[in-house]
A and B are shown apart, each in its own frame.
Chain A
């Protein structure tokens, strides 16, 4: 099965709402897209439609959190991080446990183009002290990550996709915040992926296998705190790390990994993603091929990286 992580989020939130009356949800005229509508329909008294006013929504969420509620504030990733200083001040600095939900991550949204694509959100959210930053790769992981956010008494950010993501994890999977997951083993290099690029990286691993390159593939669902131990172990055991994400390479998951590599066991790192560029409109699959975020592109880039001296 394949499901958009925004849909898995909406379904989970509607379930959690039954067990936990403190959960409240806010949206800014995008509830049909973020899927917070599934909660809104079930619990209209605990849903706040804020209109096209994201800054105000974030502030209201902070107030709700400081008064003991568990708010989930939802919009497209780009519009939320557009209200960065409000998040910095009213949420993070004020230590208000707001759960920030940014959907429509990356060029994977396709035709709407750059203005609606979250492409810098990981970098921005990662820079806020104490912010937990998550990006699940499939339905099951999304459910568990959202459940974690509801239970965790702190502020956090989750990045979700518009497009469907295939199932990666087995039914007995247990999400552990801050712990990367080795999905395939290998010793020639490690490919670290997150969210939508995890499935592509796994496929790329198979393509590389045929070329005699054995890639370890790791799912980095928690971008912050980054799993330093696992990153160090992969650096030691495979000697090279290739990161891939549907995000600008500046400041995203790849940067978090590169920082950890430098500080633990320096080895060559190649960050792959949007190479300091804005996005554009197009069919999502065509865009993944153009920006080499699909399995073929990742395999091509990773192979070139391995062959470099």
Chain B
């Protein structure tokens, strides 16, 4: 397993790639990509069992990006892991590119599901987790959701069903960055007390700082050890994390940085 210093370095590279991709594309979602960079890095580079040379390996762990708009961060991670050449990242959102604006597993088969309509990923992840428990292939399933996303009713249907089916190979991760599009989550549609809600639905809930690798890795390990119950990692994060002028600014949810803003962001991220 890589050292935490190494993971930090990878997450840094991924953040840089996210900014470069969005600046080149001229559109996309920086806020929720940057808030999830550390979570995604820990998953792909320290926890998940997967093989970049064989994306269809049946025993691979699954990752569902339910908040599909944050796909640039996953593309950057996949490229870093060797799923496809780094240069391809700059084709994001261009006509004909497999790097669609939201995940499309028809055009990029290493993606586990098509997402981009919020609220559906946890149900699909639960289905995969149920399959993994039916024997033969004991893989784990990770599902990353946005906090705003959990306003969708279907999320709570899946939240209710997962404990019923004792889906302990399922680990949901909530990117609790406190912002969505029309404003801050607390103003748009309050979710608190989030932890209590998930606990009362029957989940094992682990609140962490979603930018602290020690805590992220600890929680993922605890999730794997938790039996007869699904786990929700409630990851306290900062939307736009790593770029000072994007941090906690609602407007950076869904717009690309212009050349000047990208240069400033890249400098802050230590790109050379």
Contact = CB atoms under 8 A, between A and B. Distances in A.
Interface in A51-78: 51-53, 55-56, 78
Contacts of A29: 148, 151, 180-182, 188-189
B148 A52 contact: yes
A113 B102 contact: yes
A287 interface: yes
A29 B184 CA distance: 10
Contacts of B94: 281-283
A50 interface: yes
Interface string A275-289: 000001111001100
B27 A111 contact: yes
Contact of A56 (B28, B95, B153, B188): B153
A115 B117 contact: yes
Interface in B71-103: 93-97, 100-102
A49 B188 contact: yes
B119 interface: yes
Contacts of B247: none
B182 A111 contact: no
Contact of B182 (A27, A79, A82, A283): A27
B158 to A, nearest CB: 15
Interface string B99-130: 01110100100000011111100000000000
Contact of A282 (B68, B95, B119): B95
A95 interface: no
A78 B120 CA distance: 14
A42 interface: no
Q: Ordered nearest first, which 6 A-B pairs have the shortest CB separation?
A: A115-B116, A51-B189, A282-B95, A113-B101, A51-B151, A111-B93
Given A29-B188, A30-B181, A116-B102, 4 more contacts: A31-B182, A51-B151, A52-B180, A79-B117
26 contacts: A29-B148, A29-B182, A29-B189, A30-B182, A49-B189, A51-B148, A51-B151, A51-B188, A52-B118, A52-B149, A52-B151, A52-B152, A53-B151, A78-B117, A79-B117, A110-B27, A111-B93, A113-B102, A114-B102, A114-B104, A115-B114, A116-B101, A280-B107, A281-B93, A281-B95, A281-B102
